Structures are given as C-alpha cells and as structure tokens.
Amino acid sequence: MEITFLEDERNIIFVVRRFADVYEPVLRSLFFRPQDDGYVKSFAKDLRHMEQTKRNFAAHAEEMLAQHGYLRPTPWEDALEAVSQRLQDADIDWWLTGSCAAAVRGVVLCPCDVDVMLDPADHEQVADLMADWMIEPIIDTKGWVTELFGVAFPGARVDLAFGPQPVLDEPEPSDSGPHAAAHLETIRWRDYELRLPPLALQAATNKRRGRLDRAAAIERVMHSDR
C-alpha cells in the first residue's frame, strides 16, 4: 500500500494507492473517494497537528484498514484502555457507544473500532491530548450526525465523535444520540468507570439496522442478567 499527500491552496489530500482489491470497500465505507488510481480524503491545511497526523496516517493506514475490514484481529481492548487512561487523567467528559459498549458488558462481538462520544467544548484539548495517535484530524462535519469528528489509532481505530445531533434519534432513539447521552449507565471495566448506553437501546438500534445476529447476542446478555 502506498500512502502519499497532495495539497492545494487550502487542503491536504490523503492519498491511498497500490492496495489489494479487498481494501476498496473498506476505503469506501470510511468516506474515501475514488480519484485517478487511488482513493482520497481532503482536510483543511490549518487543522490542529496536521503534520503529526500525516505521519501517523502514513505509518498506520494499512493496519487500520485491515482491522476495519476484519482482515486482521483488532486489539480493541488495549486501545480502549489506552484512551480511557488518557481521558480519565485529563478529566475529559466522555462515553462509549457502538460494539465496544456491548462487548465490555459481556456481549460476544468482534469490534473493529472503538466509538467514543465527547463534548465539542473539549475538542482542542482532546486533539492535543491524542496528537501522537491522530490519523485523521478533528473536523467540523458541517451538518453530519455529530458536530465534530476525528480518528485516533492507539493500536486500533478510535472514532472521536463530538456532539451527537438530534437526527441520530430520528425516527427512534439510537445508542449514540442525545437520548442515549441522557440515559447512560456506568460499569466498572478493568480500572475504569465506563459510561454506556443501555443494552436495550443497543439491541433496538441493531435491529433497526438489520444487524439481527448482533441484536440477538445483546439480548442474550440482557436475559442472563435477570
């Protein structure tokens, strides 16, 4: 895999070329777009820690893509512990969602990344705190499902989403929207207090997305706890 960077007056363009065909659907799923003989994603030049982020992306892009495509195991527990430690030490407000939020409660899953929700007011502090891990800078999504978004890679992909938007709870509440944020539960995992959406909300969310096997695995853990 070949990683290069182009630039114009305003943007740095991350370019991925010379990759096996198996990576193409992974790149598409992560919002890279085809261009010439590769896939690209553009970011504003003036974003925080851009030069460090470029170095990190070049070093870790292939491993990240392989994990995200389920081509290699994802050490999500180690990545979650590393992120939990830094955020706890810095007293950053955050919560966990997605497959990891179910897995830490005993649901048998194989997460390919870690989904972290944060307060937009903390985005600069988080960018500084995780500069040595960032593989995509924290950006203003301009109307996406969260206000800001970036990606870190402490051995596994960690999506850093800031300010979940109400659209995430339309037409029904999801496990990553404002409704979930208002109904978080706390569990002890390793040496950390993790805040998570209720399992029932995660089961319902996965059913709506057609992930019936995952929803059934979540419901089995829910029933075993009764």
pLDDT tens column, 91-128: 999 999 999 999 999 999 999 999 999 999 999 999 99
pLDDT band for position 226 (50/70/90)?
Answer: low
Judged by average pLDDT, the poorest of 2-6, 177-181, 219-223 is 219-223
> How far apart (Å, rounded) are the C-alpha atoms in residues 74 and 217?
19
pLDDT at residue 224 in the model: 86
> How far apart (Å, rounded) are the C-alpha atoms in residues 226 and 222?
7
Contacts of 56 (CB under 8 A, 6+ apart): 132, 133, 134, 135, 153
> How far apart (Å, rounded) are the C-alpha atoms in residues 95 and 78?
17
Tell me the longest C-alpha to C-alpha distance in the chain: 59
Asked whether the predicted pLDDT for residue 151 surpasses 70, the reply is: yes
Pick the CATH number of 2-224 from 3.30.70.380, 3.30.460.40, 3.20.10.10, 3.40.50.20: 3.30.460.40
Give the residue-averaged pLDDT of 48-60. 98
Asked whether the predicted pLDDT for residue 225 surpasses 80, the reply is: no
Give the residue-averaged pLDDT of 5-33. 97
Contacts of 124 (CB under 8 A, 6+ apart): 48
pLDDT at residue 26 in the model: 98
Contacts of 223 (CB under 8 A, 6+ apart): none
